[in-house]
Structure 1
């Protein structure tokens, strides 16, 4: 297994997100500076709202850029225990296999790699906290919204 291929797929997804965020930012800037949004009276806040939206979108662009840099500089380590950059396969109580990548950011992002849906999990998430430090054969249990989840670690790469 070559985790650098997985990282490249993640980077492509993040770059796509960045392009969408940049486009949304430009549209919001255009809306904020359009002649039709010039306030006609003191209660006309369309331009102000558009400028808030443009600011929020610009912050989103910055976050996307930081995500990309983080993954570009991520050191891919091999370890027998789950750590950041581990590719982990678990099995649940219904004998369903699930594939995860322990990432430093963008938890919840899902990509397809080697014909599997791979979900990024961070150490900040309850599942990520429960996975950290586990080895093949270890059981993982955690709770979210008063619901208990159980997995067994099948592989760590």
Structure 2
């Protein structure tokens, strides 16, 4: 997969997410401030709940905007075997069962999934346990991770 095209898709997805969340936050704000939602008694909490929702959505929108800005400024670097895996590398991992997955080491946007089927790429950050384990590794290196008390092993198949 072409990293430049992947970055463009990540930016496009984040822009879409920001717009969807912005609209949802606006709707929640309008609900929270609507005259008909003014509390009539202590049990009437619709306006208060909508306010909490609007605040949470506004925070999430700000987080995604920050990730978007970071990705817009990111200049992808080619893989350097001497430095190992770094931010902006696209990594193919293969587990012990032969199942492969594509990971993009991004500065933000952890958990974002781009593409479909076998060409799906998951964005991870260096702050995640897997991201930490991958930093500095190279092709054919083994990556060990303990998840919920279970050891998992994967091998770096390709890095771009």
Q: Do Structure 1 and Structure 2 share a fold, with TM-score over 0.5?
A: yes
Match of 2:48 in 1: 48
Unaligned runs of 5+ in 2: none
Match of 1:22 in 2: 22
Match of 1:86 in 2: 89
Normalising by structure 2, what TM-score? 0.91
- Say whether the 8 Å CA contact 1:106–1:120 is kept in structure 2: yes
**Separation (CA, whole Å) in 2 of partners of 1:58 and 1:90:** 35
**Separation (CA, whole Å) in 2 of partners of 1:42 and 1:126:** 45
Match of 2:140 in 1: 137
Query: After superposition, what is the alpha-carbon deviation per residue over 1:7-55, rounded to whole angstroms, capped at 9, x for unaligned?
Result: 0011111111111101110110110111220121344332222222211
- Say whether the 8 Å CA contact 2:64–2:109 is kept in structure 1: no
Normalising by structure 1, what TM-score? 0.92
Alignment of 1:5-154 (within 5 A): 5-79=5-79, 80=81, 81-112=84-115, 116-154=119-157
CA RMSD of aligned residues (A): 1.7
- Closer, same or farther in 2 for the Cα pair 1:76/1:114, shift >3 Å? farther
- Say whether the 8 Å CA contact 1:6–1:113 is kept in structure 2: no
- Closer, same or farther in 2 for the Cα pair 1:101/1:113, shift >3 Å? farther
State the 1:113 CA deviation.
Answer: 7.4
Unaligned runs of 5+ in 1: none
State the 1:148 CA deviation.
Answer: 1.1
- Closer, same or farther in 2 for the Cα pair 1:92/1:48, shift >3 Å? same
- Aligned to 1:135, the other structure's residue is in SS state coil
Length, aligned pairs only: 157
